[in-house]
Amino acid sequence: MANPVRRLAAMPVAVLCVLAVCTVAVPTAGAATQNNCGGTLIAKPGGGYWQCTWDDEFTGSKLDTTKWTVQTGPTGGPACFVDSPRNVYVGNGSLHLVTRKTTSEFYCGNATGGFVTQYSAGEVFSGGSFSQLYGRFEFRAAFPAAEVAGLQEALWLWPNDDLKYGPWPMSGEIDVAEVASRYPGRSVPYIHYLSGTDMNVTNDFCMIKNINYMHRYTLEWTPTTMTISYDGNVCISDVYNPDYPATSSAPFDQPFFIAMTQALGVAPNAFIPGKTPLPGTTRIDYVRVWK
């Protein structure tokens, strides 16, 4: 893990910790709303069926701001998250998150400082409107097809109280999928927490054919295990270490909210001006949550 950047804003920013700098934040939790999750019954591993608690099918023409907040401010890389329809928009049945070069430079800042850039990025998160402890979380998404370093994307979860057990990674982070264009066709799950001397559980050998097509990225989270699958194929399964903190479910014993990110990369997937293909767009067909 290389030099994570902590708390750049009071909301989440891209957390691409396998291949990049980490950044974080924490809004408050909110109540889930009942939706149909596509109307499909999905069996639980231990019997019975998952019950839908929350979803967004992105079928309208505008982002549902009762469910999502658009991130603004520094990304931890050379781009800036902005609340613009050029960076975050809903259309053709999908949410689009876009990283692009702007026509002129602009100032990107927050309470701790800022910088001048010509690159804007897109992120949304559900903190303040929805969070959940345990369950099944599924994203159907398509990432950029780029094979040149510089684009980074993530589908991830962040704890409501990111200091409950101490600063990152002690309070946990769940990256269902992280994609860096330097490593084409590869999606990386990453579970961050302190387990003895091991701060991370990952598998960086989960290949995705045609990553720019829609695929299903799924987390099944119980009080003792976490399983991440791509298109139904298990990529990683983790049993928590009972030695940290005091119970086997900690730090994953509180609600986490959802975030989705399209940004520019940092070392070793650093953005290369003039070579990294822009714009870079992540499309999300749906987000569905069950319990």
Kindly report each contact of residues 224-227 with a partner whose C-beta sits within 8 Å and lies 24 or more positions away, as own/partner. Answer: 224/248, 224/249, 226/174, 226/191, 226/252
Q: What's the confidence (pLDDT) of residue 197?
A: 61
For the chain, the DSSP string reads: -------SSSS---B-TTTS-B--------------GGG---B-TTSSB--EEEEE---SSS--TTT-EE--EE-SSSSEE---TTTEEEETTEEEEEEEEEEEEEEEEETTEEEEEEEEEEEEE-TTT--BSSEEEEEEEE-----STTEEEEEEEEESSTTBTBSTTTT-EEEEEEEETTSTTB-EEEEEEEETTEEEEE----B-TTTTS-EEEEEEE-SSEEEEEETTEEEEEEEPPTTSSSSTTTTS-S-EEEEEEEEE--TTS---TTTS-SSEEEEEEEEEEE-
CATH number of 37-290: 2.60.120.200
Q: pTM for this one?
A: 0.87
Strands 188-195 and 52-56 turn out to be unpaired
18-66 pLDDT, tens digit per residue, is 333 333 333 333 333 445 899 888 999 889 999 999 999 999 999 999 9
Percent with pLDDT over 90 in the chain: 69
Q: What's the confidence (pLDDT) of residue 169?
A: 86
Q: What's the confidence (pLDDT) of residue 112?
A: 86
Q: For residue 232, count other CB atoms closer than 10 A to its CB.
A: 7
Structure tokens at 200: 């991370």
Q: In sequence order, what are the residues at sequence separation of 6 or more whose Cβ sits closer than 8 angstroms to the Cβ of residue 94?
A: 58, 283, 284, 285
Residues in the chain predicted with pLDDT less than 50, given as ranges, are 1-34, 245-246
Q: What's the confidence (pLDDT) of residue 202?
A: 84
Q: CA dist 63 to 57, 75, 141, 206, 258, Å?
A: 11, 21, 16, 31, 15
CA 261 – CA 207 distance, rounded (Å): 20
Q: What's the confidence (pLDDT) of residue 217?
A: 98
CA 157 – CA 159 distance, rounded (Å): 7
Q: What's the confidence (pLDDT) of residue 268?
A: 93
Structure tokens at 101: 């070069």
Looking up tokens 């998150």, which residue turns up?
A: 97
The residue ranges of every structural domain in the chain are: 37-290
CA 122 – CA 213 distance, rounded (Å): 19
The one-letter code for the residue type at 65 is T
